[in-house]
Amino acid sequence: MKFLLPILVTILLIINNVESLWVPKPGTTWNCLLAASESDVLNSKEQAITLDVNTKPEMINKLHNKGQKVICYFSGGTLETNRDDYDQYMAIPGLVRDKYTQWDESWVDIRKKDKLRPLIKNRMITAVNKNCDAVEVDNLGAFYHEEVQAWSDPLTKDDAKTFAIWLSELAHELGISIGLKNIATIAPELVDYFEFAVVESCSDSPNICAKYKDFPKKGKAVFTIHYSDYGSFENQKAKMVSEQKGFGYTCTFSNDVSLKIPGFAYNCDNGSTTNTNGSIPKYNNNNNSNTVNTLPNTNISTNKNNPSSNTGLDPNSSLNPGINGNLGNSRNTTTTNTTTNSTTTTADNNKNNNIDNIKEGKSENDKDSNGGKKSKGTIIILTLGCIGAIGIIAFLFVKKQKKKNQNEYNVNVSLPNDDDMYYDNYNYRYMMHLQNYN
């Protein structure tokens, strides 16, 4: 029976890993609150929010108590000056390279996996210990940037892909979900490695937003955010709608590139800031359906500051974070009086399609608070099934063992010992003597 113990442990580990990975469904509401004040974070209504990995666990617990999911952010392709492990990075020769001129951080040579992996693993462990639901690792697309391209041995697209894959594998080893941050050109190749995607300013270049369309087709959310450094919301609305319409993304706009002021949601299909529910692609197990199911209307209350007001920033400003994962957000927390956008989401229960509609953050198949983990019923069924399988194996093993013992017994009683041989010989001689006598 001892061999059953490792089987049982392995099965339970698999079940636990399945349950622990959160996969936000298309239509999940989201906001990026990296530099927002504590009050703005606590007043947030979105089903999922992005916070810095340095966020105190008490804050994360409060958000969990409200039923929200927390994505913990850090930069993996650069070294930020505010990180606790800054000195550890700097102590490794050749790991930290040129200054990232747009932000107060430096590029990292992501090819040095043996040196970099333990450092990033420790950051992910921090996220796990704080009960973050996922990690968002920024600046994977360093190879796009002029500073990196000027290296004597510049990073390549293949380097970025390799980096992204081992980040995903590392997160999953630790039992935490991970979102793909930007790197649009290789995003279609990475869909199966990540649970969701976070995309910045994708409409600033044609056909970039479409690079993430396979995520919703596989039941995975895509969270997009655009910034006012390319113009006001009203000035960008037509372009954003044109590039994002029909894909089933969750769309957000921020009037503050430093993210100190919370952004607001809008409908990806028409730009509405009052009915923010856009279309959600229908998907099935084969993920081969391109049809779209539109969610019912939902009234959304947004920030009272006018989203159409122009911030005065130059649309061609170099502050634009671009489409490839280069937002090095301000890490200073300031207090504001702005109220975050409040979203209330409902969904219809359409039994004629296979989509997991979002209903207060729950999919029809996964009844958790934000449409991510496997349902409790599924876990119970899996557990009972495994116990039943183990029981059958144990029964067959015991039955086989009894049969083996019985065969051994039958063989033993049929074989003569020395006494039997002596008795048979004596009896033979006695009968022959008696026969001769008569």
> In which residue are the tokens 């804050």 written?
59
Query: Torsion-angle region of residue 271: left (phi > 0), alpha (psi -120 to 50) or beta?
Result: left
Contact 47, 30 (CB under 8 A): yes
Give residue-wise pLDDT tens across range 151-191.
Answer: 999 999 999 999 999 999 999 999 999 999 999 999 999 99
> In which residue are the tokens 């002596």 written?
422
Name the pTM for this structure. 0.67
Residues of the chain under the 70 pLDDT cut: 1-19, 284-386, 388-389, 391, 394, 397-438
Q: Which residues contact 393 (CB under 8 A, 6 or more apart)?
A: 4, 7
Give residue-wise pLDDT tens across range 274-322.
Answer: 999 998 988 754 443 333 333 333 333 334 333 333 333 333 333 333 3
Cα gap 242→351, rounded to integer Å: 30
- Helix (H) or strand (E) segment spanning residue 116: helix 113-129
- pLDDT at residue 248, as a whole number: 97
In one letter, which amino acid is 90?
M
Contact 178, 365 (CB under 8 A): no
Contact 362, 375 (CB under 8 A): no
